[in-house]
Amino acid sequence: MYREDRKEIVANLICDEGIRPMRFRELCGFLQIPKEERSELSEILDALIKEGRIAVDSEGRYVDDKAIHVTGTFMASGRGFGFVRPEGLGRDDDIFIPEGKTLSAMNGDTVKAAVTLQAGIRDGRKKRAEGILVKIVERAHHDIVGVFMKKARGGLVRPDDARLGVMIAVSNEHTKGAEDGQKVVVTIRDYGEHGHGPSGRITEILGNPDTPGIDILSVIRSYGIPTDFPEEVTDEAKSVSQTVSEREIKGRLDLRDVVTVTIDGDDAKDLDDAVTLEKCDDGFTLGVHIADVSHYVKEGSALDGEALHRGTSVYFCDRVIPMLPVELSNGICSLNAGEDRLALSCIMTFDTKGNLKDHRVAESVIHVNKRMSYSKVAAVLCGDVPEDYQEYETLLRQMAELSAILRKKREDRGAVDFDFPECKLIIGPDGQTEDIVPYERNDATRLIEDFMLAANETVAEHFFWTETPFVYRNHESPDPEKMNQLNIFLTNFGYHIHHNGETVHTKELQKLLHKIAGTPEEAVISRLTLRSMKQAKYAPECLGHFGLAARYYCHFTSPIRRYPDLQIHRIIKEELNGALSPVRMTHYENILTDVSNRSSVCERRADEAERETEKHKKAEFMRRFLGEEFDGVISGVTGWGLYVELPNTVEGMIRMEDLPGDYFRYEEANARLIGERSHRIYALGQRIRVLVAAVDTVASTIDFIPVVG
């Protein structure tokens, strides 16, 4: 048996960047190991390989495992090949995995890949690294949603996610009586690691694909979003009183005599923020009052565990899957007009230029005088005052005045406002998409947004300086390479962003958005600019918010629908009541990284599920327009065709083979296609007329063909 100290010597030697990789015989010579002791070296090398510390490259040389093996997420193409995105890196570092080298990996699996060809210039073109999969570290899919196809000895399930690229076999005894063509959930029993395809058993029959609501239910199941609350959670929610008692009010700041309003969409049910305002000669006192959800959802309770598990409410076009049961989200925690409600209030005093002069965070009790809607508040601010809003007209105009001051101050420091068109899907009683309309964004929605941002920043800065464990909402500066790529793209339109190669100031992006406002390419450039920025995340460290040009930022204003808000409410209340002992501080320091990471993962899952549903519903809507023509804008250029976005935000594809009368060459650097003979150019932002040629509602794809003339 070898000695551990010798093992460490060998490991350090192989992993030393200053020493070239060696084969077994070369190692023996380098270490001057006699023949009778070489078996011990072989044992040491085998042990280090099993521990994942070293690996053997394609030429039989022993190397640092990190130099040859990369762990990351597998992204399947649905056409046999795929890519591995290394952990912590971007898409530019993806490793190409050719067909036949993907093991049994499915899209989203965590895998280990061996790099066989480094990235670089080959055949005069920039090429990605290439490799093969050597291990599947963790499976992303255990339950898969798809369509059941009945066969003589059972059947096959075709996954809704075409990227999975496999059929799942189901034997007769595991079909659960599913009928041909039904949507089902299949649980994988065997992933097909030994040369055969995957197999599983049907665990849920969702229904026929044309049944209203089944399409969205399929997405919900695909993403593993929990819908039903466990019995202990519902029991706990039902035991909560729906009225506020005098005992609960005791010791709180009583604001019930202050005129208080909520402003939300017409169909909102969970009202978690209310506002108050007092104007005086030297400024404004703004109160942002947030439902005190933490009073009812105690740390460690069944409600708390389920809320952490869900992370966020999920908003689909025809339903909401709440983070908390309706007894709380639509009941005692909703700031309904005419009811006393417990709140956590951030009361801020601003001067006439929008500078924060003073603030106070307090546990409070409020009484909402009026539930208002965005549409009617916008009407008031335009001079068309509904009768039941007349007594609030002065208050609303003062709120609009402060809102404009705060927005101007935020803009002056460089905050970026991506105000490109977003859509709302109108779903009929039959579950079909009846229309696609722009989201309402007016002075009323901006007013509430401005007030919530002010409260979020104020609370974040307050608790940063108290050095209290906290959850911040961070948005880091963009990657310099992403900004370089964006600049290359912008030159096609005559625009440019100034940056020093390391950082870009938000004012540069702000100037760009001002320049493109109202132009045909506005939506395309805005979306590409947004995609060039990093994702916002939750973290216990305060890193600032790039997009808002804010040094301190958190999510404080929506504890009904976001777990991080609920988490920091607990911390805030303990700090206010002097209960943040060293033991409690240590407790929060120990849990907040996990809370932040979980919340970020749940948020991304919700966003992806919402986008997939929207994509499906748009395809469903466009099915009625087969054969009709529309004007659009080229929103994407790839090696296989063009993406075109219509004014209603629907996006479809013109496949390369459907481009008229020429062979087109793809120029990735300039994001355009060029005809070899005609020299015709198709580029991002270009206007184009298209005909709706085909719609696949299963794959959620729309095919266009260009209208030449």
Residue 205: CATH number of its domain: 2.40.50.700
Q: Pick the closest to residue 707 from 624, 623, 647, 629 (CA basis).
A: 629
**List of the chain residues with pLDDT < 70:** 1-3, 57-59, 66-68, 88-92, 118-126, 194-195, 419-421, 501, 709
Q: Evaluate whether residue 225 is within a structural domain.
A: no
Q: Are residues 386 and 467 in the same domain?
A: yes
Does residue 226 lie in a domain region?
A: no
Q: Which domain holds residue 165?
A: 143-209
Tell me, what's the pLDDT at 277? Answer: 98
Strands 95-97 and 129-138: parallel
Is the domain of 79 the same as that of 60? yes
Domain count, the chain: 5
Q: What confidence tens digit (pLDDT) does each residue in 528-583 have? A: 888 888 999 999 999 999 999 999 999 999 999 999 999 999 999 999 999 999 99
Check whether residue 248 and residue 397 sit in a common domain.
yes
- Whether residue 135 lies inside any domain: the answer is no
Tell me how far CA of residue 211 lies from CA of 182, 318, 618, in angstroms: 10, 14, 17
In a domain, 541, yes or no: no
591 located within any domain: yes
pLDDT of residue 606: 95
Same domain, 354 and 421: yes
- Angle (CA) 465-468-470 rounded to 5° is 105
Please give the single-letter amino acid code of residue 378: A
- Asked if 568 and 433 sit in the same domain, the reply is yes
What is the Cα 556 distance to its own chain's centre?
Answer: 19
> What pLDDT is stored for residue 195 in this prediction?
66
pLDDT at residue 674, as a whole number: 92
Whether residue 128 is contained in a domain is answered as no
Q: d(Cα 560, Cα 371) in Å, to the nearest integer?
A: 18
Indicate the SS3 state at residue 515. helix
Cα separation, 316 vs 322, whole angstroms: 11
Same domain for 630 and 700?
A: yes
Q: Are residues 315 and 427 both part of a single domain?
A: yes
Q: Which two tokens stand for residue 90?
A: 């971007």
Residues 308, 439 share a domain: yes
For 526-530, which contacts have Cβ atoms below 8 Å and span 24 or more sequence positions?
Answer: 526/418, 526/419, 526/420, 527/420, 527/635, 528/486, 528/489, 528/684, 529/418, 529/486, 530/418
Rg (CA), the chain: 29
Residues 293 and 423 in one domain: yes
* Domain's final residue, options 179, 209, 239: 209
CATH number of domain containing 16: 1.10.10
CATH number at residue 665: 2.40.50.140
Nearest-5° Cα angle at 268, 264 to 273: 50
Angle at CA of residue 474, ends 472 and 480, nearest 5°: 165
For residues 123 and 121, give the distance between their C-alpha atoms in angstroms, rounded to a whole number.
7
Domain membership of residue 220 (yes or no) is: no
DSSP string spanning 200-265?
EEEEEEEE-TTSTTHHHHHHHHHTT---SPPHHHHHHHHTS-SS--HHHHTTSEE-TTS--EEEE-
Sequence-separated (6 or more) residues with CB below 8 Å from residue 104: 136, 191, 192, 193, 198
What does the alpha-carbon distance between residue 492 and residue 494 come to, in Å, rounded to a whole number?
A: 6
**Does one domain contain both 147 and 250?**
no
Quick check: 509 and 416 in contact, CB under 8 A?
yes
Tell me, yes or no, whether 539 lies in a domain.
no
Say yes or no: 504 and 554 in one domain: no
The neighbouring-strand residues paired with 56 are 62
* Distance between CA atoms of residues 62 and 45, nearest Å: 8
**Distance between CA atoms of residues 693 and 644, nearest Å:** 13
Residues 601, 640 within the same domain: no
Structure pTM?
0.83
